[in-house]
Amino acid sequence: MIGMSETTEPEENEVVGVLTTPQEWRAFLERYGELYMKVRADDDELVDLLDEDQLEALDRGERVEPWLGEAPAREEALVASEERLGVRFPPSLRGFFLASDGWTCLDAWVDGVHPCGRVVWMRDSEAGWRVTETYDSIPGNEDDVQLFRRSIEIARGEDFWLLDPTDVGPDGEWAAYAFAPKYGDTSKYRSFSTLFNSGYADMEEDQEEEGMD
């Protein structure tokens, strides 16, 4: 349902450390990929994600540590994207791109994090423009519409991941949002890193509830 959305701020965001270096992101994304493979991926997806040797090792009950991300972005490509948008990305987003230029296996209703060359102002993407115009046509959505118009779109699928360059913390991090158009829900996080980590925390919780090793 569209209209009059309420922005929530999960309490756990206040205690999650922010990943800023490519090395920190690489280590985290390796853990993320391993957990995603255990908790979320079905058999068909595993065939797409793993090679034959990895699948055989998995069948033997051995630990498999695949890299489910992309090659790191080159600094010049990152700078070109920043110049195109007229901003300098926050530290956690820069560190992510320098570890993996995009990501497709997410525990969220988004298809994946865009590579740096496809990051766009939400108002300029086709899907973002449609959502913005729809919300703008309904009274009471003024705050959401302003957020959409000033934010960059980092990821998109059924939902959106957005970063707001006008809301900057003392560490240089931009406020991040997970936005679900279907329900009009907007959840705020203190950084891109914290938003990304929320999916990892959800998978950990599900793993514990299901008693997985």
Check which CATH number belongs to the domain holding 22 and give it: 3.40.1580.10
Domain for residue 9, yes or no?
no
Q: Cα separation of 95 and 193, whole Å?
A: 10
Domain for residue 7, yes or no?
no
Residue 74 CB coordination number (10 Å): 13
Q: In the chain, pLDDT over 70 holds for what percent of residues?
A: 90
Residue 96 belongs to domain spanning: 18-210
**Structure tokens given for 166:** 């006008």
**Vertex 29: Cα angle to 63 and 66 (nearest 5):** 35
- What's the pTM value of the predicted model, to 2 decimals? 0.85
Domain for residue 71, yes or no?
yes
How many domains does one find in the chain? 1
Domain for residue 8, yes or no?
no
Domain for residue 11, yes or no?
no
Domain for residue 151, yes or no?
yes
135-159 residue pLDDT tens: 999 999 999 999 999 999 999 999 9
Domain for residue 120, yes or no?
yes
Domain for residue 3, yes or no?
no
Place of tokens 């988004």: 110
Minimum mean pLDDT among 46-50, 117-121, 171-175, 193-197: which range? Answer: 46-50
